[in-house]
């Protein structure tokens, strides 16, 4: 249980000019973890001293970042089974106070609207076309082509709110909803492009591993075949590699999201964020 008097006394010492006292106070408050955040935020609102405000803000961020690191570690060590959980943890890095249930409810609403359209038996291609109609036409999701480097394109809450995102986030949202509907759509870690594969081992296919076709979530759910992937790799002067054709793991997806964020923040010159996101990347092996 947190000691209120002690916490408040420590907060008052955050602007102490003595570095040794400040370091001790900082470490002690840090040890309280997320429990201290409410007290720190309330002290921030009442603080007039710029140094104290700065130190409180940094401390809150440090505690929140520690929680994100811990959550990501647990997700990874637990087998990384839930893609939505993984992408929410990354969202927490930038938006720690966000109501995550609201995001889950929004995804459920899209899922429900697609499910209503799919009341009748449909072939895999028909399923995807119905999905695309709801996702792109009714809800208006599309690729952010004008500001592709914006880090907001990589945060789930922002993409759901603005309906604009990069390849990996649109594909991730698409796959999460599809899998909730038992539509076997999974991410494929193609270089410079992230695509989806429709996998059904019960059907005859020209591909290995039951892949019937591919989907480009960035281009309104465009359906294409293996030869198109061949051509794309040829343009990049890349030789055949199985991983460019087959579904990747949830960990690979989260790593790719993190790399996109690192690239975006490097572009913006945000060195601190680049360092922190690299720390998150290291957790995933």
Q: Which helix (H) or strand (E) holds 184?
A: none
Torsion angle of C-alpha atoms 100, 101, 103, 107, degrees rounded to 10: 140
Q: Provide long-range contacts, Cβ within 8 A and 24+ apart, for 279-285.
A: 279/69, 280/68, 280/69, 280/72, 280/90, 280/93, 281/255, 283/69, 283/72, 283/73, 283/76, 284/72, 284/76, 284/251, 284/254, 284/255, 284/258, 285/76, 285/251
pLDDT of residue 159: 97
Q: Which residues pair with 247 in a beta bridge?
A: 188
Which strands, in side-by-side order, build the sheet including 195-199?
Answer: 185-188, 195-199, 211-216, 222-224
What are 146-205's pLDDT values in tens digits? 888 899 999 999 999 999 999 999 999 999 999 999 999 999 999 888 999 999 877 665
Q: What is the mean pLDDT of the chain?
A: 90
pLDDT of residue 126: 94
Non-local (6+) Cβ contacts of 115 within 8 A are: 181
How is the chain split into domains, by residue range?
4-77, 83-283
Q: Which helix (H) or strand (E) holds 98?
A: none
Q: Put residue 49 in one of left, alpha, beta given phi > 0 → left and psi -120 to 50 → alpha.
A: beta
Question: What whole-number distance in Å separates Cα of residue 163 and Cα of residue 161?
Answer: 6
By three-state DSSP, how is residue 164 classified?
Answer: strand
Q: What is the Rg, in whole angstroms, of the alpha carbon atoms belonging to the chain?
A: 22
Tokens at 100, concatenated: 């995550």
Tokens at 144, concatenated: 């952010």
* Position 143 confidence tier, pLDDT thresholds 50, 70, 90: very high
Q: Are strands 164-165 and 142-143 parallel, antiparallel or unpaired?
A: parallel
What are 9-40's pLDDT values in tens digits? 777 777 777 788 878 888 888 888 888 888 88
Mean pLDDT of 216-222: 95
Q: Residues 188, 165: contact at Cβ < 8 Å?
A: no
Non-local (6+) Cβ contacts of 93 within 8 A are: 65, 68, 276, 277, 280
Q: Residues 110, 135: contact at Cβ < 8 Å?
A: yes
Mean pLDDT of 258-272: 96
Q: Which residues pair with 165 in a beta bridge?
A: 143
């Amino acid at each position: 249980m947190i000691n209120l008097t002690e916490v408040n006394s420590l907060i008052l010492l955050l602007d102490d000019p003595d570095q040794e006292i400040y370091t001790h106070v900082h470490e002690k408050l840090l040890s309280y973890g997320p429990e201290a955040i409410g007290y720190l935020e309330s002290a921030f609102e009442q603080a007039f001293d710029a140094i104290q405000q700065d130190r409180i803000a940094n401390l809150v961020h440090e505690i929140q970042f520690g929680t994100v690191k811990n959550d990501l570690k647990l997700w990874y060590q637990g087998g990384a089974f839930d893609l939505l959980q993984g992408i929410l943890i990354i969202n927490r890095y930038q938006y720690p106070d966000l109501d995550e249930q609201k995001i889950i409810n929004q995804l459920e609403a899209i899922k429900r609207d697609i499910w209503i359209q799919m009341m009748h038996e449909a072939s895999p291609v028909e399923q995807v076309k119905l999905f695309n109609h709801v996702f792109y036409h009714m809800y208006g999701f599309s690729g952010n082509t004008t500001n592709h480097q914006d880090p907001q394109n990589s945060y789930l809450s922002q993409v759901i709110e603005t309906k604009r995102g990069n390849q990996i986030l649109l594909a991730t949202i698409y796959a999460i909803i599809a899998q909730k509907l038992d539509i076997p759509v999974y991410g494929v870690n193609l270089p410079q492009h992230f695509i989806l594969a429709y996998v059904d081992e019960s059907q005859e296919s020209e591909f290995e591993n039951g892949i019937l076709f591919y989907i480009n979530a960035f281009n309104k759910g465009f359906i294409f075949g293996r030869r198109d992937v061949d051509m794309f790799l040829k343009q990049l002067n890349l030789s055949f590699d199985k991983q460019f054709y087959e579904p990747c793991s949830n960990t690979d997806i989260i790593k790719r999201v993190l790399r996109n964020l690192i690239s975006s923040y490097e572009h913006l010159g945000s060195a601190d964020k680049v360092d922190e996101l690299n720390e998150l990347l290291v957790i995933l092996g």
